[in-house]
Amino acid sequence: MLHGPIRVITVEREYGSHGGRFAHDLAERLGWRLLDAELVAGAARMAGVDPKLAAKFDERLDPWYYRYGKIFWQDPMYAPAPNGEEHLFDSARMLELIHQEILQAEQEGNCVIVGRGAACALAGKPGCFHIFVYATPSSKREWYTQAFPQHAHHAEQHIAAFDRRRAAVIRKHYQQEWCSRTLYHMLLNSCIGTEAMIAAAQCAAGLCPTAVG
């Protein structure tokens, strides 16, 4: 059950599925805020770091050896002083800040949030509708080949690697499986086209013109 009118839509997406474009167009159609790269910029502002630096940590985990080293830093015997770990900016800190932004956005409402574990962060909250966008392998391969022609011969490997990274972040931070159907109210295959996707999402969320008119 959705428990009341929908005020927030989250859009998780496979790499190359055009899910980001769909989220942008959906937000525009609804007249809502879009939170995508804005989440990264917001995290950078809160941390006081360059947005370009923050972007390097977007939807990624820190390397295993870095995470292993932090275990020792948490021990007072090894901790860097006095400006210690709380002042470090890494992927873990990035995820914490974006999580705060997602919760704040949910309070304000009327927004479409792209990825970053938003469906997990807002799971079970009233007024939130969660969508997962996927695409056929051939469609994703075609998009990748056009976007990165110099790497076209590695399209499948790069696409799969990108989605594995996203899945690893969600598994680590939320202990959830990124593509689990139980997280989402709706699965959309982008092969039906953006207009059909928007119409389906609006009506499923109770936001189509006949529902709100």
Q: Under a CB-based contact definition with an 8 Å cutoff, are residues 129 and 10 in contact?
A: yes
- pLDDT value of position 179: 87
The pairing of beta strand 186-189 with beta strand 128-134: parallel
**For residue range 88-138, what is the model confidence (pLDDT) as tens digits?**
667 788 888 889 999 999 999 999 999 989 999 999 999 999 999 999 999
CA distance 49 to 159: 29
pLDDT of residue 70: 46
**Pairing assessment for the beta strands 8-13 and 33-35 based on DSSP bridges:** unpaired
159 touches 141 (CB < 8 A)? yes
| pLDDT interval class at 73 (50, 70, 90) | very low
DSSP H helical segments within 31-187, as ranges?
Answer: 37-47, 51-55, 64-73, 91-108, 118-121, 137-147, 155-174
Q: Give strand pairing partners of 129.
A: 9
> Any idea which architecture 8-212 has in CATH?
3-Layer(aba) Sandwich (3.40)
Q: Is 159 exposed, middle or buried (0-12, 13-18, 19+ CB in 10 A)?
A: buried
Spatial separation of the C-alpha atoms in residues 189 and 211, rounded to whole Å: 24
pTM: predicted TM-score of the whole model, two decimal places = 0.82
Tokens at residue 30, please?
Answer: 């609804």
In angstroms, what CA-CA distances link 24 with 38, 85, 99, 165, 194? Answer: 12, 36, 20, 23, 10
Contact 23, 11 (CB under 8 A): yes
pLDDT tens digits for 26-61? 999 999 999 998 888 888 888 788 878 777 777 666
Q: How far is CA 129 from CA 6, 7, 53, 163, 184, in A?
A: 7, 8, 31, 22, 8
DSSP string, 94-135: HHHHHHHHHHHHHHH-SEEEESTTHHHHTTT-TTEEEEEEE-
pLDDT in tens, 135-183: 999 999 999 999 899 998 999 999 999 899 889 888 888 889 988 999 9
Nearest to 169 by CA among 102, 120, 125: 120
